[in-house]
Chains A and B, each alone.
Chain A
Amino acid sequence: MLPARPASGADGGGVPNARSPEPGSAPPAVAARSLLGTAWLRIRRSKIALAALAVVVLMILFAALAPVLTAIEGQDPYTTRTSPDVLDDYGTPGLPLSYYRYPSFDHWLGVEPGLGRDIFARMAHGAQVSLVIALLATVVSVVLGTVLGAAAGYFGGKVDMVISRVMDLFLAFPHLLLVLSLTPILQSRLGDTALGEGSLLPIASLVIILGFFGWAYLARVVRGQVLSIREQEFVEAARAYGASHRSIILKQIVPNVMGVVLVYATMMIPTNITAEAALSFLGVGVKDPTPSWGQMLNAAQAGNWYLTDPWFLAVPAGALVITVLAFNLLGDAVRDALDPKSSRG
């Protein structure tokens, strides 16, 4: 199972979750302390993992503060500027004039070709959209995967058979294709006409679809873990004093698979960020005018603007790659810390 928790403060303190509690204050939850504490101890030792964690935290802050930052900049993601003193009218119609194309005091990252909307504002609000979709979809997959995997492993028999076959079915489906073709269908069901500024519809549909198709692999892993946990003494003890199935699963089983769940959740986030970007890039996920990084990539490719000036590609591509890389590196560190079976090269 999980490696034993190192003694708190073993390497000189500075571990927020593992410090001994202040006198008189309630002790922190033990499960949370051991799990996150172990991960933190591992991350602390590697400069790369620390940097990745910093980037992830900064990016989440950036996304959360998007409205504030754009207010400071004095712009918003939706106002179009198509007058000839912003966008070229002669040589390359629609190309922003050089003052508007590159970073300036008014437009921190310039404005878009064609519509003249502020790129920084779209990038920041797009970060919010991309991250919210990825995180919520991960939550949906993790809840489904943990509950169904735990139920399959704990109850066994017919329940296990049904859930396992459903897992096989989900794993055999071509994900991207199905997500690609079901997203427009779901959006039309939810009311496609409501696609306006700040519409929540594309976000909701992507969360549902990505979340719903992402749980099967985690469920299989959780099921495997639960098969061994349910035979252990503390589960037997719980059963002996008459705990209900529900209480055993939630209080005895689930806390013991949280390590593996945390590992897979961390790795699911970058996958979902990439999936959102891919779908929006293909024009079936987040659609104009709502910004997301994938939608911005789509806009850069449309009309070959990225060939006219690579700057239009650099902003969304850079944000996307840096974020996905940071989450991936963090995921590797969390896996190395919490999953003893992984190789620690």
Chain B
Amino acid sequence: MIAFLTRRLVATVVLLAVISFVTFTLFHFGPADPAAAACGQECTPERIAEARVALGMDKPFLSQYLTYMSGLFHGRTVGAPGAESLCQWPCFGKSFQTNEDVAAVLERALPYTLSVAVGAIVLWTVVGVTFGTLAALRRNKLTDKLIVGAASVGVSLPIPVTGLLLLLVFVSTLDVLPFTTNAITSPFGPAGFDGWFLNYLLPWVALAVLFSAQYIRVTRSSMLETLGEDFMRTARAKGLSKAAMVVRHGARAGLTPVVTMLGLDIGLLLGGAVLTEQIFSVPGVGFTAVRAAQAGDLPLTMAITLLAAFFIIVANVVVDAVYAVIDPRVRAA
């Protein structure tokens, strides 16, 4: 088990290093001129030259990459000689838009993204697993067909469509829910749990419509497979009630693919629910990413990409570790 985890961890660190290098290269050689982007509009050639020095672009590429990476582990100074400013640990550089430490921008955005993610994940997991299991138990009956039909429609509803519809119906027309406010970032703040819940309910639903549908499909097909296994017949034969059989034996085997999917989706969502945050004006990581992309704010874009990749990879490792605990065969692989 320890050997397995060590192997995985080493591979993860290597993958992270490669990803950081590839991302740095992409963003370094991608735009026509990062210095021009940093300098903004109405930029004279002299000021572009100054910006190049300030960004360290006069140095060789590899040393730029190493400087950037070292900043992630301890602070460094950035800016032109004579006008340096300290960029605190962990240093991702300064935002082109506001000249603020990128890490500070991300720190401000993360609680919003976390709020969106937590509720959405709980909602879609509960809905997806419940209805997926129900459909499997009622295979080919009306209940199953209705659930499967709803899931087919659900996976075909793009988030912009769902999100705008929710705003139109519940905020604009019925006026039963507030438009999201930036003031609430946690259920423990002054607004209390209720305020937090109502504030993020629509973003949760927008995400959950799409994701529940996927979870219903995966749960259903995996449960159908499990229900056909011999050990389920044995459980039934030894006199377990159907409910006990499904919960105690079916769920453990049948929900393994769901756990995998959940782990990966959590990793994905922590990198920012780009569309949802944009539609509901929640200033989380995804919202920040859109602004950064539109403004050509490379340090911010780069940092968000790295952060999101980090979450995805960590989620992969966690899923693998959980698997290794559940299934001893994995450890040997």
Q: Which positions in A face B, CB cutoff 8 Å?
A: 168-169, 172-174, 176-178, 180-186, 188-189, 270, 274, 277-278, 281-284, 294, 297, 300-301, 306-307, 310, 313, 317, 320-321, 324-325, 328-329, 332, 342-343, 345
Contact = CB atoms under 8 A, between A and B. Distances in A.
A26 B221 CA distance: 43
B164 A317 contact: yes
A321 B156 contact: yes
Contacts of A168: 15
Interface stretch (B96-104, B120-128, B304-312, B322-330): B304-312
B156 A270 contact: yes
A182 B172 CA distance: 35
Interface in B15-34: 15, 18-19, 22, 26-27, 30-32
B31 A185 contact: yes
Contacts of B30: 182, 185-186, 189
Interface residues of B, number: 53
Interface of B: 15, 18-19, 22, 26-27, 30-32, 139-140, 144, 148, 152-153, 155-161, 164-165, 167-168, 172, 220-221, 224-225, 268, 271-272, 274-275, 278-279, 286, 289-290, 292-294, 296, 301, 304-305, 308-309, 312-313, 316
Given A300-B164, A325-B152, A343-B224, A180 B158 contact: no
B223 to A, nearest CB: 10
Interface of A, secondary structure class, is helix
A293 B224 CA distance: 38
Contacts, number: 129
A184 B298 CA distance: 11
Nearest to B167: A307
A343 to B, nearest CB: 4
A35 to B, nearest CB: 24
15 contacts: A173-B312, A177-B271, A180-B290, A182-B30, A184-B293, A184-B294, A185-B31, A274-B158, A278-B275, A282-B290, A325-B153, A328-B155, A342-B221, A345-B148, A345-B220
Contacts of B292: 181
B135 to A, nearest CB: 8
B211 to A, nearest CB: 14
A184 B292 CA distance: 11
Contacts of B164: 297, 300-301, 306, 313, 317
Of A277, A282, A317, the most chain B CB neighbours within 10 A belong to A282
Contact of B161 (A185, A321, A342): A321
